[in-house]
Amino acid sequence: MTRFLLIYALTVTVLLTACHHHDEPEGVTQSARTVLVYMSAENNLSEGAEDDLNEMLLAKTDKNNDCLLVYVDDRSSHIPYLARVSNGFLKDSVSLRDMGISKRDTCSSDPGVMLSVINYAFRKYPSRNNDYGLVLWGHASGWVIEDSVSTKTAASAQGRRKAYGLDNGVDVGARASWINIYSLAQVLKQVPHLKYIFADCCNFQCLETLYALRDVADYIIGSPAEIPGVGAPYTTVVPALFEPDSFYTAIIDRYYELPLGGGLRVPLSAVKTSNMAVLADATRQVLLSMKDTLSLTAYPNTEGLIHYYYSPLFHDANDFVLRFASSEAYAAWKQILDETVVYKKMAAKWMTNTAWQINYSDFQMSEERYGGVSMFVPQSSNKNSKYRNYNADIKQTAWYGAAGLANLGW
């Protein structure tokens, strides 16, 4: 990606000269759709944040009366800020202090910080159509438990859940902090309802996370797999963010065109969240239909199933049900899945962290098998001692109860 350092320098200049020291937004203007990109980049993605920000600057114009906002917390300045992207410039930049957050460098994974930023942004730039989008830019770990801000402030197991964010800022010490998905859901319930969440981060399209966020957005768009460090191609994705009705197909199509070389693509999907409860019930039913088959081995043999991580914590949900359910039970469940995963793009190979490179010979991707969303399938700890923790952690998710995993002795 091309970098425009001059534009980025202007960003900092505008920021440092735009302090109004007020708690409430001034100069409120309405837009057709307001989209906020929440860039949690005070980590090893900081350089990519600069590139993606410059792509947004190139792409966004004001011709359609839409509003693109960016909240940027990276390693370069240690001064998080919120600004409006307009015709190649960052305008109306405000600091955390302007938003009523007193600390100069505050952990952007803190639920209070996120809530203040999002509410400030949507109050200052409201949509006259109540039409809001949120881009979650940064790291994510799907449903897998990470140390979150909550674990640092409360000795509670509830604080250690699936996570987004990863802030390595000075305020959180040497260890990274995340916002767990449970806390993220609570934050987003206190802001204007979102038309969509576009998750430009890894492993977001897992049923456990999607179920947890089912009430805060109409659609969730992202990848069940790891995504490349360069993120989405925002020069083409930004216009797609503002498509009136076809936004999720447009975002996925533009992202899928990202040139990675070597036959690599990003597997992507869009989920209609109003159907997640129905899918959970359908999954409960189909798992019950598998009970006799699966009880023969206690834990299913997942060898050869599509998975989206070096350790198979994210198995393709469709591939799993296709293998173990009867044809009749699978057909009934698949109908509900198709009504929930309303659009998807398959990739045979995708970019992964070299430290845990996926062996793509372990499974065979196909349109029949690819479902666009993953789910955790409990495994014997004799296979991998870490599964003991994973099998316990999955029980903390709302999906575990809703989808009836306990009915199989999991």
pLDDT at residue 264 tops 70: yes
CATH 3.40.50.11970 range(s) for the chain read 5-274
Rg (CA), the chain: 21
- Confidence class for position 170, pLDDT limits 50, 70, 90: low
Alpha helices of 172-313 — where are they, by DSSP H?
181-188, 207-212, 234-241, 247-256, 276-289, 291-295
In terms of pLDDT, which residue wins out, 269 or 143?
269
Strands 177-180 and 217-222: unpaired
- Confidence class for position 108, pLDDT limits 50, 70, 90: confident
Contacts of 370 (CB under 8 A, 6+ apart): 267, 306, 316, 318, 319, 344, 346
The whole model's pTM is what?
0.88
Question: 299 is written with which tokens?
Answer: 């834990």
In terms of pLDDT, which residue wins out, 159 or 133?
133
Q: What is the pLDDT of residue 4?
A: 31
pLDDT at residue 373 tops 90: yes
Alpha helices of 273-343 — where are they, by DSSP H?
276-289, 291-295, 317-324, 327-340
CA 352 to chain centre: 17
Contacts of 170 (CB under 8 A, 6+ apart): 78, 105
Mean pLDDT lowest among 58-62, 64-68, 134-138, 286-290? 58-62
Q: Kindly tell me the sign of the dihedral angle through the C-alpha atoms of 118, 191, 129, 237.
A: positive
Question: 129 is written with which tokens?
Answer: 């159509």
What's the one-letter identity of residue 169?
Answer: G
Mean pLDDT lowest among 2-6, 339-343, 402-406? 2-6
% the chain with pLDDT above 90: 57
Q: What is the pLDDT of residue 191?
A: 98
- Confidence class for position 299, pLDDT limits 50, 70, 90: confident
- Confidence class for position 73, pLDDT limits 50, 70, 90: confident
pLDDT at residue 97 tops 80: yes
pLDDT at residue 173 tops 70: no
CA 272 to chain centre: 15
Average pLDDT over residues 256-270: 94
In terms of pLDDT, which residue wins out, 371 or 229?
371
Average pLDDT over residues 189-209: 97
Cβ proximity of 375 and 208 under 8 Å: yes
Buried/exposed 263-272: b ≥16 CB within 10 Å, e otherwise:
eebbbbbbbb
pLDDT at residue 392 tops 50: yes
Q: Kindly tell me the sign of the dihedral angle through the C-alpha atoms of 359, 365, 369, 370.
A: positive
pLDDT at residue 150 tops 70: no
Per-range mean pLDDT, top range of 22-36, 71-85, 364-378: 364-378
**Torsion (CA) 169, 175, 176, 179 in degrees, nearest 10:** -110
Residue 297 burial by CB count (10 A; 0-12/13-18/19+): exposed, middle or buried? Answer: exposed
pLDDT at residue 319 tops 70: yes
pLDDT at residue 211 tops 90: yes
Distance CA 146, CA 335 (A): 34
pLDDT at residue 291 tops 80: yes
Q: What is the pLDDT of residue 13?
A: 37
Specify the CATH class of 5-274 in words: alpha beta
